[in-house]
């Protein structure tokens, strides 16, 4: 998303925010570097306002990126970090995005196969965010959406396969598929069929 011009009022607010940031920067830097004790925090919070102390300098870790909005619009330059970033009080807000690989278990899904057999399948999913700006600006909750997409994709893919294909091509279908649970009656029927085949060969 491309940042748009904020107009005269926006520049005026930005200038005032820079002045506030300049005056509160020494105190905010102490908070950022964790050099103040709890007594000084209470004193400064009463004098300068805790909102300024929380919002001016922020530390972004190596594995994080900060997406900053100024007056509700994305600022130019994309996501910021790693390092110390300056967030202007009152007119800017930010959201941190973790770029590390995240894993989660897909809860067991009841899947109707192509040959009308109901099986319970669970899986594990690994994913990572490549574009922090898109994950914040285009999706309300990227992590929750990824979980729902994984469940839907698992059901859709296995719904196009026969039971025999799921059991025999488990690795090629999905490396992250953990377990396939068959109904008890079907397990007994398959065991009886296998026993009958062994007796016939004997």
pLDDT tens for residues 100-112?
A: 999 998 888 888 8
Q: Which of 105, 98, 111, 123 is nearest to 182 (CA)?
A: 111
* pLDDT, position 29: 67
Task: Determine the average pLDDT of the residues in 106-120.
Answer: 83
**Under a CB-based contact definition with an 8 Å cutoff, are residues 83 and 125 in contact?**
no
Tens digits of per-residue pLDDT, 160-193?
888 888 777 766 666 556 666 666 666 566 666 6
Mean pLDDT of the residues in the chain: 77
Q: Could you tell me if 87 and 132 lie in one domain? A: no
Q: How far apart are CA 22 and CA 16, in angstroms?
A: 10
Task: Identify whether 2 is part of a domain.
Answer: no
CA distances from 34 to 37, 38, 59, 62 (A): 8, 10, 11, 18
Q: Could you tell me if 41 and 90 lie in one domain? A: yes
**Under a CB-based contact definition with an 8 Å cutoff, are residues 58 and 32 in contact?**
yes
Q: Could you tell me if 71 and 117 lie in one domain? A: no
Tens digits of per-residue pLDDT, 6-48?
678 878 888 888 788 777 777 766 666 554 444 444 454 445 5
Q: How do 177-181 and 92-98 pair as beta strands? A: unpaired
For the chain, the maximum distance between any two Cα atoms, rounded to a whole number of angstroms, is: 92
* pLDDT, position 24: 78
Q: Could you tell me if 125 and 196 lie in one domain? A: yes
| Count of domains for the chain | 2
Q: Could you tell me if 108 and 188 lie in one domain? A: yes
Residue 2 has pLDDT above 60, yes or no: no
Task: Identify whether 1 is part of a domain.
Answer: no
Q: Could you tell me if 182 and 116 lie in one domain? A: yes
* pLDDT, position 175: 58
CA atoms within 13 A on the CB side of 27: 21
Please give the residue range of the domain that contains residue 68: 7-96
Q: How confident is the model at residue 69 (pLDDT cuts 50, 70, 90)?
A: very high
């Amino acid at each position: 998303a491309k940042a748009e011009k904020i107009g005269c009022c926006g520049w005026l607010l930005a200038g005032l925010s820079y002045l506030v940031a300049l005056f509160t920067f020494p105190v905010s830097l102490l908070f950022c570097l964790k050099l103040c004790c709890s007594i000084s925090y209470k004193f400064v919070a009463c004098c300068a306002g805790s909102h300024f102390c929380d919002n001016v300098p922020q530390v972004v870790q190596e594995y994080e990126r900060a997406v900053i909005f100024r007056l509700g619009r994305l600022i130019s330059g994309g996501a910021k970090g790693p390092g110390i970033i300056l967030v202007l009080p009152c007119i800017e807000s930010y959201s941190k995005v973790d770029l590390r690989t995240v894993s989660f278990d897909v809860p067991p899904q009841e899947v109707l196969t192509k040959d009308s057999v109901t099986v319970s399948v669970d899986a594990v999913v690994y994913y990572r965010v490549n574009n922090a700006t898109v994950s914040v600006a285009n999706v309300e909750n990227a992590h929750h959406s990824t979980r729902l997409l994984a469940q839907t994709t698992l059901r859709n893919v296995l719904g196009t396969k026969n039971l025999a294909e799921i059991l025999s091509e488990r690795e090629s279908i999905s490396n992250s598929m953990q377990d396939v649970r068959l109904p008890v009656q079907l397990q007994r029927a398959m065991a009886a069929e296998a026993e009958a085949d062994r007796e016939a060969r004997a």
